Amino acid sequence: MVRRRGFYRIGPRRRCYSASVIRGFLLATLALFWLLVIRLLLRTLAAFFGGGGHTQETRHPGPRALPVEDLVLDRVCHTHVPRSSALVARVAGRDEHFCSAACRDKALAGVARAS
């Protein structure tokens, strides 16, 4: 057992102690840094060797598959539909967009009922 003799009494010992604390802190920081570097490396390697890495590949097309496109409002069900996939019908002399034929028919039926 090591007795921490003169630990609080002698100045130089204290400085030694704080120096070792700083060294420990630096070591911990260094260890953390290397941990991060290794993690990054492993991830890069996994992405590289994974080839068609499922998680990476499936995660990326998501945002790309949804290009910024005009959304049109289906006033029947109040759903916003991408313009390209919306159904267009002339209702009461106006082109309107619908999410489905059912909504379009509902709108047309509503107009027919109203007039």
Note the residues at the interface with Zn ion (CB under 5 A).
74, 76-77, 79, 99, 103
Which is closer to Zn ion, CB of 99 or CB of 108? 99
Which is closer to Zn ion, CB of 54 or CB of 78? 78
For residue 114, the minimal CB distance to Zn ion (Å) is 19
For residue 68, the minimal CB distance to Zn ion (Å) is 22
Which is closer to Zn ion, CB of 46 or CB of 92? 92
Give DSSP secondary structure letters for 19-66: HHHHHHHHHHHHHHHHHHHHHHHHHHHHHHHTSS-HHHHHHTHHHHHS
Answer whether 107's CB lies under 8 Å from 98's CB. Answer: yes
For residue 70, the minimal CB distance to Zn ion (Å) is 16
Nearest to 104, CA basis, from 71, 84, 75, 70: 75
